């Protein structure tokens, strides 16, 4: 034992034991996991099972979809959204959290609310329930233009799905609802492809599965002279522009 070790032992410290308050660095090469594949899988599974019923499966079996829609489409997707906040992804965090909330609300509506509505007004009530979500999805779709073509296509398909289902409920058209079910399957397929690409590219550490990044790059010229925003809710006082 050297002089420094003896001195540390007398002082009650040890050079081999780091302070408990000091941050521990991760092993070399280990990075924070990407929550997007988890969110996309939850998103896709909920869409798949719901699309079967929209496409015409016996409605008496509808309660069989509730556990998956509530736990996976709702809770798991919201968890992915929370981790997207930690990753600093505005769109991913907002989308997964909002869509997770949609599935939670949908299960509560379908199980407890729609059965209390007058039979002749139930379709209108469901249309009113879906309409705000269609508007939110349109906003998310526009925001996704600078991500990847795969994610943009998934948002476009989701927006079309919910919009067609909303119209079908308002006009009481089973044909439109079945068309919405078809688009729902397409939405789920795009989401699963995105999850597959995220998992393979992440685990292999290289871009093996194409996602076609930044499809909206041509729109960049519209904001060429605009400063990069930090947050929609940030004030000018919080982030003043640098003086020239």
pLDDT exceeds 80 at position 15: no
What pLDDT digit, counting tens, does each position of 52-104 carry? 999 999 999 999 999 999 999 999 999 999 999 988 889 999 999 999 999 99
CA dist 135 and 179 (Å) reads: 19
pLDDT exceeds 80 at position 111: yes
Closest CA to 124 of 171, 181, 178: 171
Which residues fall within 8 angstroms of residue 213, CB to CB, at 6 or more apart? Answer: 147, 148, 149
Q: Write down how long the chain is.
A: 244
pLDDT at 14: 37
Q: What is the Cα 80 distance to its own chain's centre?
A: 7
Handedness of CA 121, 60, 42, 192 (dihedral sign): negative
Q: Residue 17 has what DSSP assignment?
A: S
Rounded mean pLDDT of the chain?
A: 84
For residue 226, what pLDDT band results from cuts at 50, 70 and 90? low
pLDDT at 33: 80
CA dist 76 and 65 (Å) reads: 15
Percent of the chain with pLDDT over 70: 76
pLDDT at 221: 64
pLDDT at 217: 72
pLDDT exceeds 50 at position 1: no
The reported pTM is: 0.80
Of 225 and 130, more confident: 130
Which residues fall within 8 angstroms of residue 188, CB to CB, at 6 or more apart? Answer: 43, 44, 45, 47, 48, 51
CA dist 158 and 155 (Å) reads: 5
Cβ(55)–Cβ(181) under 8 Å?
yes
β partners of residue 213: 148
Of 98 and 2, more confident: 98
CA dist 68 and 57 (Å) reads: 17
Tokens of residue 197, six digits: 């690409």
């Amino acid at each position: 034992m050297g002089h420094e070790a003896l001195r540390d032992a007398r002082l009650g410290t040890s050079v081999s034991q780091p302070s408990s308050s000091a941050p521990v660095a991760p092993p070399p090469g280990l990075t924070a996991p990407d929550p997007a594949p988890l969110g996309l899988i939850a998103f896709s599974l909920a869409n798949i099972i719901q699309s079967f019923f929209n496409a015409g499966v016996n409605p008496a079996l509808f309660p069989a979809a509730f556990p998956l829609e509530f736990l996976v489409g709702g809770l798991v997707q919201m968890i992915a959204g929370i981790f997207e906040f930690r990753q600093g992804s505005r769109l991913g965090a907002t989308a997964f959290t909002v869509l997770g909330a949609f599935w939670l609300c949908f299960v509560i509506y379908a199980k407890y609310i729609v059965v209390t509505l007058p039979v002749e007004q139930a379709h209108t009530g469901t249309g009113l329930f879906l309409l705000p979500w269609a508007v939110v999805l349109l906003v998310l779709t526009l925001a996704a233009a600078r991500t990847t073509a795969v994610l943009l296509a998934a948002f476009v398909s989701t927006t079309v799905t919910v919009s067609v289902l909303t119209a079908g409920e308002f006009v009481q058209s089973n044909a439109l609802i079945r068309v919405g079910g078809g688009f729902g399957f397409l939405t789920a397929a795009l989401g699963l492809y995105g999850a597959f690409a995220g998992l393979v590219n992440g685990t292999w550490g290289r871009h093996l599965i194409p996602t076609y990044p930044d499809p909206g790059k041509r729109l960049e010229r519209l904001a060429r002279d605009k400063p990069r925003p930090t947050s929609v809710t940030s004030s000018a006082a919080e982030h003043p522009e640098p003086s020239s």
